[in-house]
Structure 1
Amino acid sequence: MCGFCGILGPGGGLEARRRRLAAMTASFAHRGPDDSGTFEDEHIALGFRRLAVIDLETGHQPIRLEGDRAVIVLNGEIYNFRELRAELGGAAVFRTRGDVEVALRLLDRDGSGAVTRLNGMFAFALWEPGRRRLTLARDRFGIKPLFVCEEGDDLAFASELGALLAGGYPTTRRLDRRELRHYLAQRYLSPRGCALEGVRSLAPATRLEVEPGRRQETIYWQPPVAPCRATLAEAEERLACLLPGAVEGQLVADVPVGVFLSGGLDSSTLALLAARAVCGPLRTFSVGFGGPGAVSELPAARQVARLLGSDHHEILMEPAEVRTDLECILASLDGPLGDATAVPTWYMSRLARRHAVVALSGEGADEIFGGYPRQRYDTLLDRLGRVGRSAVPWGLRLAGRPVTTRLQSRLRMAPGLGRQLHWSRVFLAEELDALCREPLADERCLDALHAPLAERWRSRAAADPVNARLLTDLELFLPGDLLVKVDRMSMAHSLEVRVPYLDNAVADLLLALPGGLKVGTRVGKRILRRYAKSVLPPQVAARRKQGFDVPVAAWLRGPLREPLCDLLGEASVRRRGLWRPDAVQSLVREHLESTRDHSEKLWCLLALEGWMRAALDTPRGVAP
């Protein structure tokens, strides 16, 4: 795991470009504390910081081929590098023992289209001086980040937005108002977007090639369209053949490796398979919450750790500690992210880094196996039909359950992407209109932003309504929220986190299976649960999904009350000029008085303001 950056173009002159690159590279030293390197010619400059994980002695980057005919910087890991190296061995003399040179020689031999053969998490920049061609690419799911900024004659790129800002890109820092609306609606930016105008995130599974007279952006992989036929037993059997190998392959490292363990189905299965594959006790890491309103997973994690005989480490997050660290946590996000589970992920990563350099985590399981209740609920609304949906409020009231205005709105909506995203909506359209001092891009801009995905949703839903929901989460929530959170919070502590459920072979298997095999009427993850029952104790395999139940509402009324009133106080809101002070103060007052729970909305606004103070209010960038 590392970080890289580069400038294709003059960069304001040779010396100015060198200063820019040095500032950019230094800005993400936390991503690579072990080594650094640069490459420069008249057309391009590349910078790199390395976290040494594989091939500790000879894995220096950038890596160059003979005669400098190709140069690469790569962030991430290629898990099938040994097989690819064996294939390439007869025609190449390797100078390193790691994965990056293998990727470079494969791309040199077969062209940039060979990116489809890389099984791993990665983002890379490949420069071919003879053709003056730059290739940028990201892995299938967007596990590793890559930002791009085109300004004047320069194309600047980096593993973090903060690195672009350190290099003076973009020159003018203006919030992208369409992305701001997306963020306030869903608590994360779109996977192709960025908080700032003039900067974008290269989309997952995308390859961008730039050379004189030619520019091409290609989506090199898409999930399978037609589900393959299989029974539940056959699906479990295939999973049993693939998942252990994926876990074992992602344990390969020349440094200590551990597993994030919550005690739930996903992490317990990973931990069990990892424990079987390592020599000696497996390192496991867990985090819990202290203070009022907290529900901790530590007892469940301890139970699994005892069953595995792991070398278990845990930390109890105290609210006062969160208050002390909050500014640093929000700054480490490298962009606005309103997911409060970033906080425990930050502490888990800090704990793990004291004992390991690499950790495995369960991200991706809910998307490929079908683990979110909203996926089931939204499909159920389709089955009920219009008449059935109209009877839902009556049934809930009869059962003594509340009927919210949001649910009533959802029941009136037609099936589609809009209704699916409504389940996770933070600020509704009318609430945004009341909040913003100046109108954001209106709601139709989100429809336009999601138009290609909405079309894919319709075509998928016609064949398989469940898979349509799962693939939407795979394309939006996973790369926009979960993978961003894990990457930024772990790399803030120089920890590499790997996600075995997103192994190419495992994902290919699950994504091609019918949705009905994955999600039942009352339970999700049917295939994983069935497999887990064959390897885990029944009480673990049957455990219900909990996740990080962050007590944000209690925190904001207690230990985080002071930072809340600082970041979202009237003076701060007026100075920022984005929101109507009375609207924000109403949210704060009602929450502090416990008349309403506005914790989701307040956390989104708080995270945005915290990032803006760290990234935009502090002078950054070098003089050209």
Structure 2
Amino acid sequence: MCGIGGILYSTGTRNLLQQQITQLAVRQQHRGPDGEGLWLQSPHALCHQRLSLVDEKGSAQPFADASGRYMLVYNGEVYNYQELRRELQPYYRFTTEGDTEVVLAAWLIWGVSCVQRFTGMFAFLIWDTVTETAFAARDAVGVKPFVYTVQQQTFLFASEVKALLAVISTPAINEYALAEYVIAPYLSGDGEAIHNGICYLQPGTYLQISRGAVTTHSWYRFGWQQQQQPEEVLTAQMADALAQSVAMSLRADVPVGLFFSGGLDSSLLGAIAAEQAAYKPTAYTITFQQHHDIQFDATTIVNADDLPYAQKLAHTLQLPFHRVEARHRSLAGSLQLLAQINDRIPAWEQEFSQHFLSIAAAKKVKAVMVGDAADEINYGYFFLLKDTVNTSPLGLLNLFGGTERLGLLSPRLQRLQPLEYLNHTYRQLAAEAGYDFARGGEESVLAMSTLVHRRWLQRLLHNGDIHTMHAGLEARVPFANREVLTVASQVLPRYGFKAGMEKYVVRTAALGWLDKAYAWRKKSALPRDPRLGKGYQQVLHTLLQQRNDFVDACLHRPALEALCQLPTVTENERMMLFNMICLINWSKVYAN
């Protein structure tokens, strides 16, 4: 995994282009602790920051073919590169041993259809120095990021928004996207970016770029098929797909670790990896200060303390086990850092856990497997079983305090009617996939699952990438590989939620590796420290004492001040406090 960036069709001088591409590269250099490269042929420039897991001595980027005509910058892992290399060898002479050259060769031989052959996660751009045109693509579910903007006729792209903001004037805030963050942070930032004019290349899409023209094309979109296989066939196929996907995700010239919660997803990855790998992957589990004093009462998405489950299973699987304590020298300072790292604005308190896990793991390994995408494509959220949630997008928004959150916006932004706007937007998203929330039954579940897959998952994957890569660590996502997606697309709600249990097919498949205590453990999200509510109140109160034009223009100070005065803080109120602190801190760095 790496950082990529470029400036094409620059209208400035060569010296200015050199300065800008250097600034862009420096702003995301944390993504590439193992090396960096820069190519400049005015008015075009490319840069690359390298985290090397395969072919450490070769595959430096930007990478050119033998003729020098085509230049590639690539971020990700194409796990089946060895198989593809054998297919391509009759038509292409390889000079390196890694997947980078395979990506370029595949495009040269197979053209646009090359992306259909890739198993893994990727975002890349290929530049043709003769025609001065480019091709860019992103993986099937969007594990690897690709952000871009067009300024007059200049096309700029990067792996992180903050890198673009280093070389362009900070764009105006998209007020509908801002309202979405306040009301539904867990769905925010992908459909409409928070900055006007900055775009996220969508999952399963590619760009064709020429001077003055950028066209977008879809090459893959996950969706549930109407043909239903027998349950036992689906279970066997899921088990085979998971085994194959984990084996692929372990391919590297260096050891791969594991974020390990003791929940179904990471437990299953750990059990399969322990069986397949030539070494035992190190398991990293988050804990908190005075951890054993915490009451992990069941809440909306967290149901139990992970630590006992993780410790016991790591011992059973003989995995090296590493407890990572989330320790805040200053809660205000940690919140400020989180907002600086996440240029899409932190959405969940669990991002603290991702941050501390990433810092700890990066000291020992260069990559970790994570359980992301398991829930979002396999009916993994138990709130999907509630008719009060599934029959309308507003049901999901109100589950997490949507109406109360509306009151945090300034009266001016409330007049935009953001709840109605989001309800319409999310219904339209489901309709594009062929589902209507109002029809009830399985169709309502599929409509809500579409929203979860296309928005919730995108936010989750972004957070995973931004926090791991801040530490120079690669997050590998076996549940997002095409083998698993193919099987998951055949599972309809009647099997996904059989016997009232979420993720039923995955759980049944997991019995081939796990005891029932783990295979049937109820879904519980990555934990967060539930004791921080009072601390958040103090931090927000301090921020509100400062003059802030962004707060006055976009938020409702009386509502924020009322949050600070609550005698007790519920889960939803604690999340609102967290989000408002992060938004205000973010605005100081990334807003005008």
Q: Same fold by TM-score, threshold 0.5 exceeded?
A: yes
Maintained 8 Å contact 2:59/2:96: yes
Deviation at 1:172, TM superposition (A): 4.2
Whichever residue aligns with residue 521 of structure 2, its letter is: R
Aligned to 1:442: 417
Deviation at 1:294, TM superposition (A): 5.1
Looking at structure 2, the residues matched to 298 and 341 of structure 1 have their Cα atoms a distance apart, in angstroms, of 15
- 2:362 counterpart (353, 369, 385): 353
Secondary structure in 2 aligned to 1:7? strand
- 2:397 counterpart (422, 426, 430): 422
Aligned to 2:235: 236
Maintained 8 Å contact 1:39/1:45: yes
Aligned to 1:567: 543
Secondary structure in 2 aligned to 1:96? coil
Q: Structure 1 residue 502 and structure 2 residue 476: aligned?
A: no
Maintained 8 Å contact 1:332/1:489: yes
Q: TM-score, normalised by structure 2?
A: 0.91
**Closer, same or farther in 2 for the Cα pair 1:465/1:595, shift >3 Å?**
closer
Q: TM-score, normalised by structure 1?
A: 0.87
Whichever residue aligns with residue 606 of structure 1, its letter is: I
Q: Deviations over 1:229-286 (max 9, x none)?
A: 2222111111222211110111011122111110111111100111111223321110
Aligned to 2:587: 612
Maintained 8 Å contact 1:420/1:469: no
Secondary structure in 2 aligned to 1:130? coil
Maintained 8 Å contact 2:133/2:211: yes
Whichever residue aligns with residue 268 of structure 2, its letter is: T
- 1:306 counterpart (297, 315, 340): 315
Maintained 8 Å contact 2:407/2:559: no
Whichever residue aligns with residue 287 of structure 1, its letter is: I
Q: Structure 1 residue 453 and structure 2 residue 462: aligned?
A: no
Aligned to 2:10: 10
Q: Structure 1 residue 469 and structure 2 residue 448: aligned?
A: yes
Maintained 8 Å contact 1:120/1:139: yes
Deviation at 1:135, TM superposition (A): 1.6
Secondary structure in 2 aligned to 1:48? strand
Looking at structure 2, the residues matched to 92 and 596 of structure 1 have their Cα atoms a distance apart, in angstroms, of 57
Matches for 1:342-381 after TM superposition, within 5 Å: 342-378=351-387
Aligned to 1:389: none
Looking at structure 2, the residues matched to 359 and 597 of structure 1 have their Cα atoms a distance apart, in angstroms, of 31
**Closer, same or farther in 2 for the Cα pair 1:207/1:348, shift >3 Å?**
same
Q: Deviations over 1:9-38 (max 9, x none)?
A: 224221111111100001111100111111
Deviation at 1:220, TM superposition (A): 1.1
Looking at structure 1, the residues matched to 498 and 426 of structure 2 have their Cα atoms a distance apart, in angstroms, of 28
Whichever residue aligns with residue 589 of structure 1, its letter is: Q
Whichever residue aligns with residue 54 of structure 1, its letter is: V
Maintained 8 Å contact 2:138/2:202: yes
Aligned to 1:326: 335
Q: Structure 1 residue 271 and structure 2 residue 270: aligned?
A: yes
Looking at structure 1, the residues matched to 174 and 316 of structure 2 have their Cα atoms a distance apart, in angstroms, of 49
Q: Structure 1 residue 227 and structure 2 residue 204: aligned?
A: no
Percent of pairs with identical residues: 26
Q: Structure 1 residue 515 and structure 2 residue 496: aligned?
A: no
Deviation at 1:597, TM superposition (A): 5.9
Looking at structure 1, the residues matched to 332 and 413 of structure 2 have their Cα atoms a distance apart, in angstroms, of 33
**Closer, same or farther in 2 for the Cα pair 1:25/1:471, shift >3 Å?**
same
Q: Deviations over 1:467-499 (max 9, x none)?
A: 3332321111001x2111111111111110101
Deviation at 1:570, TM superposition (A): 6.0
Maintained 8 Å contact 1:4/1:47: yes
**More displaced stretch, 40-49 vs 297-306:** 40-49
Q: Deviations over 1:554-611 (max 9, x none)?
A: 21303x4543323344644776532232121012212x55599621211111111122
**More displaced stretch, 96-105 vs 456-465:** 456-465
Maintained 8 Å contact 1:376/1:520: no
Aligned to 1:544: 522
Maintained 8 Å contact 2:285/2:323: yes
**Closer, same or farther in 2 for the Cα pair 1:502/1:173, shift >3 Å?**
same
Aligned to 1:338: 347
Aligned to 1:555: 532
Deviation at 1:424, TM superposition (A): 4.9
Aligned to 2:175: 177
Whichever residue aligns with residue 559 of structure 2, its letter is: A
Deviation at 1:129, TM superposition (A): 1.9
Deviation at 1:4, TM superposition (A): 1.0
Looking at structure 2, the residues matched to 227 and 374 of structure 1 have their Cα atoms a distance apart, in angstroms, of 23
Maintained 8 Å contact 1:5/1:25: yes
Looking at structure 2, the residues matched to 44 and 577 of structure 1 have their Cα atoms a distance apart, in angstroms, of 39
Secondary structure in 2 aligned to 1:197? coil
Deviation at 1:99, TM superposition (A): 0.7
Q: Which runs of 5+ in 2 are unaligned?
A: 297-304
Aligned to 2:202: 203
Looking at structure 1, the residues matched to 572 and 401 of structure 2 have their Cα atoms a distance apart, in angstroms, of 12
Looking at structure 2, the residues matched to 213 and 571 of structure 1 have their Cα atoms a distance apart, in angstroms, of 42
Secondary structure in 2 aligned to 1:175? coil
Maintained 8 Å contact 1:457/1:472: no
Aligned to 1:253: 252
**More displaced stretch, 503-512 vs 224-233:** 224-233
Looking at structure 1, the residues matched to 583 and 56 of structure 2 have their Cα atoms a distance apart, in angstroms, of 38
Maintained 8 Å contact 1:186/1:424: no
Maintained 8 Å contact 1:138/1:204: yes
Aligned to 1:399: none
Aligned to 1:397: none
**Closer, same or farther in 2 for the Cα pair 1:454/1:543, shift >3 Å?**
closer
Aligned to 1:384: none
Deviation at 1:303, TM superposition (A): 0.5
Maintained 8 Å contact 1:573/1:581: no
**More displaced stretch, 47-56 vs 561-570:** 561-570
Deviation at 1:44, TM superposition (A): 1.8
Looking at structure 2, the residues matched to 329 and 185 of structure 1 have their Cα atoms a distance apart, in angstroms, of 20
- 1:187 counterpart (185, 188, 194): 185
Secondary structure in 2 aligned to 1:203? coil
**More displaced stretch, 275-284 vs 351-360:** 275-284
Deviation at 1:434, TM superposition (A): 6.1
Deviation at 1:516, TM superposition (A): 1.2
Whichever residue aligns with residue 55 of structure 2, its letter is: D
Q: Structure 1 residue 117 and structure 2 residue 117: aligned?
A: yes
Aligned to 1:589: 565
Q: How many residues align?
A: 576
Whichever residue aligns with residue 566 of structure 1, its letter is: T
- 2:508 counterpart (530, 534, 542): 530
Looking at structure 1, the residues matched to 263 and 405 of structure 2 have their Cα atoms a distance apart, in angstroms, of 35
Maintained 8 Å contact 1:465/1:515: no
Q: Which runs of 5+ in 1 are unaligned?
A: 382-409, 618-624
Deviation at 1:90, TM superposition (A): 1.1
Secondary structure in 1 aligned to 2:126? strand
Aligned to 1:620: none
Maintained 8 Å contact 1:2/1:32: yes
Question: Aligned-residue CA RMSD in angstroms?
Answer: 2.4
Aligned to 1:145: 145
Looking at structure 2, the residues matched to 473 and 537 of structure 1 have their Cα atoms a distance apart, in angstroms, of 29
Maintained 8 Å contact 1:135/1:209: yes
**Closer, same or farther in 2 for the Cα pair 1:423/1:267, shift >3 Å?**
farther
**Closer, same or farther in 2 for the Cα pair 1:60/1:431, shift >3 Å?**
closer
Maintained 8 Å contact 2:379/2:503: yes
Secondary structure in 2 aligned to 1:131? coil
Looking at structure 2, the residues matched to 561 and 433 of structure 1 have their Cα atoms a distance apart, in angstroms, of 17
**Closer, same or farther in 2 for the Cα pair 1:460/1:10, shift >3 Å?**
same
